[in-house]
């Protein structure tokens, strides 16, 4: 059995507006997201770290599905664990109630803070300021849960984070029917397993996730005017997708070329109109093909 100490700072939270549960975590540890983060949309979210007991994840989620609160789940998990003094765990249940535990043998600085719908915990940190600043960042940031979790993680990283250094970071958010295709609750699942600046890289990956997997709003779309159609024809011709005249008319052959290019670049979620174009897609094409 491996006994690696996962020096970590993490945040576990619930957003009732979108029914999102999530965990964001960073550590000087390879692939921290594969150990720490456990989320289920009908149950809650759990971070298990320090001498992380991975069984806390599935067991804890099952306990919350059965009706136990975050605190009841926490007490059940640690009750019969003879290494509980080395464990650290944060839990948020389906009603947004938070509970956390830091074993007395977790390495300094170690501790946690809980608030309305969230808990933040860390061990082997540069100071207590790390989690205090994370709490302030989380509660003061607007937007979806994923962005708020990363805002907190960024501040923790900038405040000093894991005092041993940086290696990996992860973000996992569950939403009912939120996965690709709507089949599962895996709304956002991003990991940076080994990187010099994992939190910064995780922010970049979330931006890519939003671009590729978020449908644009109708009101943000641009009419494909003659200048835009001409530009698309020129760029798509240059890339070998369009062979017709550079006419400035957005006809069927131009549309087919754009759709073919969109298929190659995985832009299907953003090509939602036959007469309009997402400005982010237009910028993407310009950067790629100009």
- The token pair that represents 4 in the structure block: 């690696």
Distance of alpha carbon 215 from alpha carbon 41, whole angstroms: 22
Distance of alpha carbon 74 from alpha carbon 254, whole angstroms: 59
**pLDDT at 153 (0 to 100):** 98
Residues 234-246, mean pLDDT to the nearest whole number: 97
| CATH code, 8-213 | 3.60.20.10
Q: Report helix, strand or coil for 53.
A: coil
- pLDDT digit string (tens) for 19-34? 999 999 999 999 999 9
- pLDDT digit string (tens) for 111-123? 999 999 999 999 9
- pLDDT digit string (tens) for 55-68? 999 999 999 999 99
Residues 6+ apart with CB under 8 A from 140: none
Mean pLDDT, the chain, rounded, equals: 96
Say if residues 33 and 169 touch (Cβ distance below 8 Å): yes
**pLDDT at 3 (0 to 100):** 57
Distance of alpha carbon 198 from alpha carbon 25, whole angstroms: 10
Q: Report helix, strand or coil for 103.
A: coil
pLDDT > 70 in the chain, percent: 98
Enumerate the domain spans of the chain. 8-213, 218-289
Which pLDDT band, with edges at 50, 70 and 90, does 163 fall under? confident
For the chain, the straight-line distance linking the first and the last C-alpha, in angstroms and rounded, comes to 54
């Amino acid at each position: 059995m491996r006994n690696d100490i996962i020096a970590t700072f993490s945040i576990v939270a619930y957003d009732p507006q979108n029914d999102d549960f999530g965990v964001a975590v960073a550590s000087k540890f390879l692939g921290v997201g594969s150990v720490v983060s456990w989320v289920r949309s009908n149950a809650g979210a759990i971070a298990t770290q320090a001498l992380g007991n991975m069984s806390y994840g599935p067991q804890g989620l099952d306990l919350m599905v059965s009706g136990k609160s975050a605190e009841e789940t926490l007490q059940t998990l640690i009750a019969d664990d003879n290494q509980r003094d080395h464990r650290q765990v944060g839990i948020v249940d389906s009603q947004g109630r938070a509970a956390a535990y830091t074993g007395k043998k977790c390495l300094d600085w170690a501790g946690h803070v809980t608030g309305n719908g969230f808990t933040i915990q860390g061990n082997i940190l540069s100071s207590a300021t790390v989690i205090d600043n994370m709490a302030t960042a989380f509660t003061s940031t607007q937007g979806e849960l994923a962005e708020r979790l990363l805002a907190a993680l960024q501040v923790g990283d900038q405040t000093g984070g894991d005092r041993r250094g940086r290696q990996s970071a992860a973000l996992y958010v569950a939403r009912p029917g939120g996965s690709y295709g709507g089949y599962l609750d895996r709304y956002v699942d991003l990991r940076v397993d080994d990187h010099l600046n994992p939190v910064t890289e995780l922010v970049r990956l979330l931006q890519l996730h939003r671009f590729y997997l978020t449908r644009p709003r109708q009101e943000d779309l641009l009419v494909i005017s003659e200048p835009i159609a001409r530009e698309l024809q020129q760029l798509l011709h240059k890339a070998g997708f369009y062979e017709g005249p550079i006419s400035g008319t957005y006809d069927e052959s131009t549309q087919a070329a754009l759709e073919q290019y969109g298929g190659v670049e995985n832009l299907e979620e953003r090509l939602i109109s036959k007469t309009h174009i997402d400005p982010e897609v237009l910028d993407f094409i310009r950067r790629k093909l100009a």
